[in-house]
Structures are given as structure tokens and as C-alpha cells.
Structure 1
Amino acid sequence: MLLTIDELCVSYRGRGLRTRPRRVLHEVSLGLRPGETLGLVGESGSGKSTIGRAITGLARAESGRIEFAGERVEHADARRRRRLAKDIQMVFQDPYTSLDPALTVGDTLREPLLAQGVPAKQAAARVATLLDRVQLPADAAARLPREFSGGQRQRVAIARALAPDPRLVVCDEPVSALDLTTQRVVLELLLEIQEATGVSYLFISHDLSVVRFLSHRVAVLRDGRIVESGTAAEVTETPQHPYTRRMLLAAPVPDVDRQRERRAAFARARSGAAA
């Protein structure tokens, strides 16, 4: 396994001094292989983004184990954390706020390379390669983020994540702010990048149809607990847990009549769950 998460628990403290910590992850266990995409799906507040934050060191593990490439993440010293910052990158949800508006695209992509000590000439060549990989023109390097569409900005964010040649990219709702057509383009781009580079993805989303398109395996998270996991086909075609079935019914489909039937079935499922 490239990434192993074993019985991970994470709690967040409230704002008040007397507020007790609230546990958001309850003994979560996951595994991710090299070159694989693991889809992590759940509703808002399920704790899925917290898993990504714990892997990247943005959230502190209360207990449990996070192991990357055979080494413990939560016990890493300063030197190892610098290596992890190279090996594990993140693509965030909103391409409008995740990029510095004052930096050109070229500066955005060069910044992590220069921080690693890459010579300026090599960094410039790497920027050109990255722009080509995410299917943006070479002259994009001289432009500011505001000059691009949402889908193009997310391509820049993906290029920035790829800049240090990571082994794992945590994709936290990377297409949810995009329209459906642009979502498809970005997802196909991620597939092409994985085929070319062998990078692994932890793909976080609330949309099972998006996760099914990209993922080899899927884990379903509810209230900080894994309620179902398996191959993408198993989870999306023959779901075992009622919560997963309700999520599938809630996913939109292009056929109007079928969508009406699904909405009615979803309403019945929710009523049954409430009862």
C-alpha cells in the first residue's frame, strides 16, 4: 500500500473555552495502492475533507495511524515533513480562491519548484511541461488567474499540485464548483495524467456519479464512519448500505422521466430512514 489509514480518529475543539471537543472521524481505516484512485464520498459534514487534511498534516490525528510509503505521517520529523510536502499534494475545491490572484500562472507553478532548490532554467522548462500536461497554451504562464475560466483555473491548480512530481494527490471536491461539461473535461484530464505519470489520487466528493467515473475503489463515509467500501462497480451498482442507496437515488440523471422516478424513490427512502 502507498497509503494506509488505520483506526483514525480526529476531533475538533469548539470556540469556547468550556466547549468539549467534537469527534468528526471515528476509527476510519482505508488503504490506497500506487497508481490507484480511491473515491471517498459522503454528504457535507461527513468528515471526508478531514481525512484529506489529516493526510496532508492540516488536521491533527487524535489517535490511529497514517502511514505513507511505509513511514508514519503523524510521527514525522521536520525533514520527513518536507519530503511529505513534496510527495503529497492537494487540489482544493474552489479554483477562484485557491490561486494567488497577484501571481502569474508561471510564478504560481515556479514557486514550489524554486522552494525545492530547482534551478531557474530547469523550473522554467518544468512550467512549460506542466502547462502542456494540463492542456493549456504556453503563453498562459504570463497571464493572471482572473484571465481564465473556472475550468482553466482548476487546470492551473492541478498543474501546481503536479509541479513537485508527487506520488499522491488529494483532490478535495475539485470539480464541484464547475458546470457539468467542464467537470467531464477535468475528470478526463485527471485520468490522462494518472495514466501518464502513475500518480495516485484520493478523490473526495459528495457526488457518487463523479466518484464512479474516476475511481477504482470507493469508500462511503457517514457521520465520520465508513459505512461501505468496495470496488467502484460494487458500491455504485449493488450498494449494500441504505445510505449508499439513498445517495445513488439523489444523483441526477439526464432522462427527465427517470429523474422524476428517482426523486420519488429518494423521498420514500428518506421517509423510511426518518421513521
Structure 2
Amino acid sequence: MSALNEKASASSADLLTVSGLDVEYPIKGFRRKPFRALTDINIHIKPGETLGLVGESGSGKTTLGRAILGLAPISKGTVVFDGNDITQADRKQRRALGRDLQVVFQDPYTSLNPSLEIGDILAEPLTVQGQSPAAARKRVKELLDQVGLPSDALSRLPREFSGGQRQRVAIARALALSPKLIVCDEPVSALDLSTQAVVLDLFLQIQRDTGVSYLFVSHDLDVVRHISHRVAVMYHGEIVEQGSSHQITRDPQHPYTQRLLLASPVPDPDRQAKRRNDRHELLAAQQLEEASGIPA
């Protein structure tokens, strides 16, 4: 917690509150029930706080981020952002929300327009919101400096940069309008380990400098532990455990959280082998319990 922005604990008002949220997708076919991707989701994020949302592929964590952004259908529940109910916000309202609610996607290779220079990519959200070309150019230079990229990046194309540099560009684009909350959807999973560490430190520094909040989505509990004040664990479309980052990683209560923790890599080969064995034993015990209905 010492490495994180402690301003988050100073405010009692929530920036984002998600209450009783369900997301369902229709399935084609005669009288087929819709597929429920999320069930009764309840989370909140305070100003300057990071909520880590962790779970394996298919757990529903990306769907939750998409629902908050208005990209997934909400069948029940509410999403309140900065005091306003945005559950069923229309296109005009979503455009206005773009100033305060932004996203960084998983893949820096596909999230940037390959035919545009970096300066144009960063200026686009500014000009869409009505800023003059001169004001946009000034802001773009500030953004490049903020994410640690050289000024000559303005005239270069995304393909001329490494994966970590491209993700810095994506982060700069998300920061362009000084948002209050950024949904970070697996933003370091496509990067190698050394680059991951650099980009995570960049996220932390930006939060300290600006007070921005993050919903940080990841399948890696170790990554989430590094950056989050609090953690919510998702399993089969439900949140099975929530708590402080310290509590979730030191004393996990739910068996699924325990499995995620055992799956996190450690540098010691012997400890890593023991973790692998412990995880297999825990998984086998849980499968036996589910099949028999009798606690293992």
C-alpha cells in the first residue's frame, strides 16, 4: 500500500458504484434462455483508488469493464459514475462521459490506428471534444512527456515502436482529457515481464500525479497485487471475494482465490514447483467436492 496513492482512503464518496448488475446475452433458437455472463455484481471505486479485478479467462471480468463503458447489455442493476446514473446512457451522454471515463485495451498492437502518426492519434480525442489545433498540439506534447516518450514520436507511426512504447501511447491517449476513471483491460498481458514492470510503475506514477482512479482488469493476481488498493475476485460471472490487496493475497478465503494465488509465478524454482503441486491438489479436491456434493 505504501507504493500506492493514499489519497484514495481520504474520501468517503464513491466515484463509481455498481449495484446488483446482471449482463445477459440472447441465444438464437426457439425459447432458449439468454446466457448470463454476470450475476449480481456489486463493486465501488473511490477517487484516486485502484480496484483490481482478477479472474481466469471467461470469468466475466472484461464483460464487467465493457458494461461500465456501455459496450455490454445491462439487464439488471445500476452503474452510477460521479453521482450520475449511467446505466442506460445514450450515445450523446456516452460522448460527454468520454472526458471523465476512458479505457486502455489489452493489445497495444491493435488498439492504435496503424496509418496515423502518434501526434494525430493523441490529438484526436482533444479535437473531437472541441479543442483548437494549437491547444491540442500543446496538450499532446505534455502527454508524451507524461508517459516518458520523446518529442520526435509525434511524427512516427505505431509500427516504429516496441510493444511497451505502444502501450505508453495508448495510456497517453486515455489521459488526454484528464479522466477521473480509466478501465484498464489486461493492459500489460501482451508485454514481456520486464516491460510489464515498467508500465505498471508508469500507471502508479500517473495516479500519484493526477489522482486518477483505475479499474484494473487482469488474470494475474501478482500483477493486481502490485498496483491495487483493493481486489475483487471473479469466478463464473460472480464476485466470490473482495478485500484489501493485502488481505486477498495474504489470507484468501475462497478456494478459487487460493488457486489464483498458487498460480502466480515466483523466482525460486523449488517454491514454484511446490506451488504447482499445491494448486493441482487443491483443484482435485474442489472437483471431488463439486462432483460428490461432500466437502473434501
Same fold (TM over 0.5): yes
What amino acid is the match of 2:77? G
Aligned to 2:262: 249
Aligned to 1:6: 19
Aligned positions of 1:143-182 closer than 5 A: 143-182=156-195
Contact 1:4 1:31 in 2 (8 A): yes
Aligned to 1:111: 124
1:199-230 per-residue CA deviation (whole Å, 9 max, x = no partner) reads 00000000000000000000000001110000
Aligned positions of 1:162-241 closer than 5 A: 162-241=175-254
Q: Distance in 2 between matches of 1:77 and 1:246?
A: 40
Aligned length, in residue pairs: 275
* 4+ residue runs over 6 A deviation: none
Give the unaligned 5+ runs of structure 1.
Answer: none
Tell me by how many angstroms 1:62 deviates.
Answer: 0.5
Aligned to 2:79: 66
SS at structure 1 position matched to 2:271: helix
Aligned positions of 1:125-140 closer than 5 A: 125-140=138-153
Aligned to 1:76: 89
- TM-score of the pair, normalised by structure 2: 0.91
Q: Distance in 2 between matches of 1:149 and 1:141?
A: 15
- TM-score of the pair, normalised by structure 1: 0.98
Tell me by how many angstroms 1:77 deviates.
Answer: 4.7
1:129-172 per-residue CA deviation (whole Å, 9 max, x = no partner) reads 00000000000011000000000000000001011111000000
Give the unaligned 5+ runs of structure 2.
Answer: 1-13, 289-296
Q: Distance in 2 between matches of 1:31 and 1:142?
A: 40
Name the Cα RMSD after superposition.
1.1
C-alpha change, 1:137 and 1:235, in structure 2 (3 Å) is same
Q: Aligned residues: percent identity?
A: 59
Moved more, 261-270 or 74-83: 74-83
